[in-house]
């Protein structure tokens, strides 16, 4: 439980961060809240000779809601998401999901940016960001760029972010309609065995639009286009929900681990998605 030796840096501006990343290449990593990286370092699952702390960088905090768009700085913590009255009003699914992440101690330090940037398929925010069709804002030596959350994840711990880039913010349109984040886990503080994010809008008693994403059921989060499409135009009845679950099961690819065999995970995925759809529809 003691990490390998490393050099610690605490730059005061983003130019300093990028310069360090350019200088040390693959040997450098940035750290936000540290609740993903530090445990891996302690277990010697990751060796980081050069650790760059983002805590002193200005402009990475804050939640802004303007013109129908929500923008969340990378260093905003889950605790801040939970306690933001503006966020609860504009995108209540964010609070619902954040309350299910780990425990209060982790939520006080764990950041939105850290949760989405490191590519851990068990993290809750990546799937939620895909459900909300969010954009990730990156900065690097060549300037700023934006990547869609649905295109960001390539494999476990592998993303579209280049080694010399830093994720600075996430943004998405203020969601419309009903919502739910449903999570099945073995105990408080654990990663999901299966989790589902659902956002559904209603018009004339029918589903006008639906977005579905699943967590910890493949080596990346899974936005299931087919599951959402199966609900559109229906009254979200039992047959429609069953069709959505069937479509989702085609998209996921769980593996056996200490949370259960593949068959159990697929069963749990169907249950949590059915619950998420039902709650989102009841709120639409």
- How do residues 191-212 score in pLDDT, each as one tens digit? 999 999 999 999 999 999 999 9
- Cα distance between residue 266 and residue 130, in whole Å: 20
**Per-residue confidence (pLDDT) for residue 188, from 0 to 100:** 83
- Cα distance between residue 207 and residue 20, in whole Å: 49
What separation in angstroms does the CA of 40 have from each of 51, 54, 138, 246? 13, 18, 24, 35
**Per-residue confidence (pLDDT) for residue 1, from 0 to 100:** 75
Q: Decide if pLDDT at 189 tops 90.
A: no
Q: Where are the domains of the chain?
A: 7-53, 63-172, 180-283
- Cα distance between residue 54 and residue 270, in whole Å: 39
Name 63's bridge partners.
72
Strand 63-66 to strand 166-173: parallel, antiparallel, or no bridges (unpaired)?
A: unpaired
Q: Decide if pLDDT at 159 tops 80.
A: yes
- Cα distance between residue 47 and residue 98, in whole Å: 29
Nearest to 111 by CA among 60, 56, 174, 154: 60
Q: What share of the chain is helix, strand, coil (3-state, %, to 5)?
A: 35, 25, 35
Nearest to 137 by CA among 113, 119, 118: 113
CB 197 within 8 A of CB 97: yes
Whole-number percent of the chain with pLDDT over 90: 93
Helix or strand or coil: residue 159? strand
Q: In the numeric block, which tokens belong to residue 17?
A: 């961060």
Q: In the numeric block, which tokens belong to residue 48?
A: 């980081």
Q: In the numeric block, which tokens belong to residue 75?
A: 């260093």
Helix or strand or coil: residue 29? strand
Mean pLDDT over 77-103 rounds to: 97
Strand 28-31 to strand 50-53: parallel, antiparallel, or no bridges (unpaired)?
A: parallel
Topology of domain 7-53 in CATH is 3.30.43
Topology of domain 63-172 in CATH is 3.30.465
Q: In the numeric block, which tokens belong to residue 81?
A: 């998401």
Angle at which helix 238-251 crosses helix 262-283, to 10 degrees, equals 140
In 10 A of CB 7, how many CB atoms?
Answer: 13
The tens digit of pLDDT for each residue in 118-147 reads 999 999 999 999 999 999 999 999 999 999
CB 121 within 8 A of CB 259: no
Cβ-proximal residues to 57 (8 Å cutoff; 6+ apart), any chain: 11, 12, 13, 14, 17, 75
**Per-residue confidence (pLDDT) for residue 254, from 0 to 100:** 98
Q: What is the CATH number of domain 180-283?
A: 3.30.390.50
């Amino acid at each position: 439980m003691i990490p390998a030796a490393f050099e610690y840096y605490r730059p005061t501006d983003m130019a300093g961060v990028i310069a360090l990343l350019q200088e040390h290449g693959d040997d450098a990593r940035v750290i936000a809240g540290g609740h993903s990286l530090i445990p891996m370092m302690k277990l010697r699952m990751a060796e980081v000779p050069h650790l760059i702390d983002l805590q002193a960088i200005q402009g990475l905090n804050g939640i802004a809601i303007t013109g129908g768009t929500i923008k969340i700085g990378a260093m905003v913590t889950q605790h801040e998401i939970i306690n933001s009255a503006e966020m609860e009003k504009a995108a209540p699914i964010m609070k619902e999901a954040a309350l299910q992440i780990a425990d209060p101690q982790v939520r006080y330090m764990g950041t939105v940016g850290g949760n989405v940037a490191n590519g851990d398929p068990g993290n809750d925010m990546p799937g939620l960001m895909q459900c909300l069709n969010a954009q990730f804002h990156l900065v690097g030596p060549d300037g700023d760029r934006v990547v869609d959350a649905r295109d960001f994840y390539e494999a476990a711990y592998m993303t579209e972010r280049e080694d010399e880039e830093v994720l600075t913010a996430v943004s998405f349109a203020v969601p419309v309609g009903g919502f739910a984040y449903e999570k099945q886990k073995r105990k408080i503080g654990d990663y999901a065995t299966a989790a589902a994010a659902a956002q559904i809008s209603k018009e004339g008693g029918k589903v006008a639009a639906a977005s579905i994403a699943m967590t910890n059921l493949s080596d990346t989060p899974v936005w299931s286009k087919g599951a959402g499409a199966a609900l559109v135009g229906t009254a979200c009845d039992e047959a429609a929900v069953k069709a959505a679950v069937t479509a989702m099961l085609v998209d996921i690819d769980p593996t056996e681990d200490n949370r259960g065999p593949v068959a159990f995970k697929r069963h749990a995925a169907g249950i949590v998605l059915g619950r998420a759809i039902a709650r989102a529809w009841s709120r639409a």
